[in-house]
Structure 1
Amino acid sequence: MNVSTRVEYAVRALLYLAAQPGSSSVAAIAESQNIPRKFLAAILADLRRDGLVTSQRGPAGGYQLAEDPSEVSIGEIFRAVDGPLARVHGLRPHETSYEDLASHLPELWVALRVALRQVLDDVSLQDVLSGRYPEHIRQLLTAPDAWQNR
């Protein structure tokens, strides 16, 4: 799985907003998280369009989370800035089809999407801020090879 720069920056920006009272400017978020300002502004626009943040113009304006950090899943953030969690040549896993030897491959792609959902949709911004993940995530993190490259 490849986590895009857009997703990484979006998660980091929302973690920043989750930890701040009130609104924060694009400049403040960008400086704090070392994210290019224009790139961040485009990401925040996507997040606003999907209802994850709200914005207010003016001297006291800026961005803030639209919901409590415990209600915002990492999966929602992925989808807001990058679209569906799993794609195979631009198709969603259940839209793929193959013949002959690969005829059962769509089942694997669907299972992969389910696994991604089980992690990304079950972890909230608050979970990441606190480092207290759901039990099934903690089990994944303590697997013998979890922190090793393969």
Structure 2
Amino acid sequence: MRISARAEYAVRAAVFLARAPGRLSSPRIAADEDIPAKFLEGILTSLVRAGIVASRRGANGGYELDRPAGAVTVADVIRAVDGPLVFVRDQRPSDMAEEGALLQLWVALRANVRSVLEGTTLADLAAERLPPDVAALTSDPVAWENP
């Protein structure tokens, strides 16, 4: 599985907003998170459309989360900018014509990705903590190896 730059930037921007005490301008988010400004504008537009971020124009304008950080999962953010979490040859595993163990493998992969990304909220990341079941996955030294 590959996480796109767009998805990674979107999560970073959303976590930055989760930590913010109020509205922030896109130039501030871009500068503090080292995200290309034009790229960030597209990301923020997608997050606004998805109801994750709210925007306000004007002198006191900017961006802020539209829901509590604990109610927004990492999966919500990634889906807002990239669509479904797991695709196999441009199809959702459940929509594939395949049968048997290979299809079950793709569905199991999707279930595990969902478990991690839907089980982790922006509030978790803003607080620099992971849910216990997600954190447990990182305690295995093999998880850190590059095969």
2:128 to 128, 131, 135: 131
The runs of at least 4 aligned residues of structure 1 exceeding 4 Å deviation read: none
Give the 5 Å matches for 1:50-129.
50-98=50-98, 103-129=100-126
Gapped regions of structure 1 (runs ≥ 5): none
SS in 2 for 1:64: strand
Whole-angstrom CA distance in 2 between matches of 1:4 and 1:139: 24
RMSD: 1.2
What amino acid is the match of 1:62?
Answer: G
CA distance in 2, matches of 1:148, 1:87: 25
Is 1:148 paired with 2:145?
yes
Q: TM-score, normalised by structure 2?
A: 0.95
Paired position in structure 2 for 1:44: 44
Identity %: 44
Query: Matched residues in 1 for 2:42 and 2:135: separation?
Result: 33
Aligned length: 147
What do the CA deviations read for 1:24-77 (whole angstroms, capped 9, x no partner)? 111110111111111100000000000000000111101000111111100101
Would you say the 8 A contact 1:25–1:63 is kept in 2?
A: yes
Which of the two has higher C-alpha Rg?
A: 1
How many Å separate the matches in 2 of 1:113 and 1:121?
11
Q: Aligned partner of 1:111: which letter?
A: A
Q: In structure 2, what is the Cα distance between the partners aligned to 1:67 and 1:120? A: 17
What is the match of residue 2 of structure 2? 2
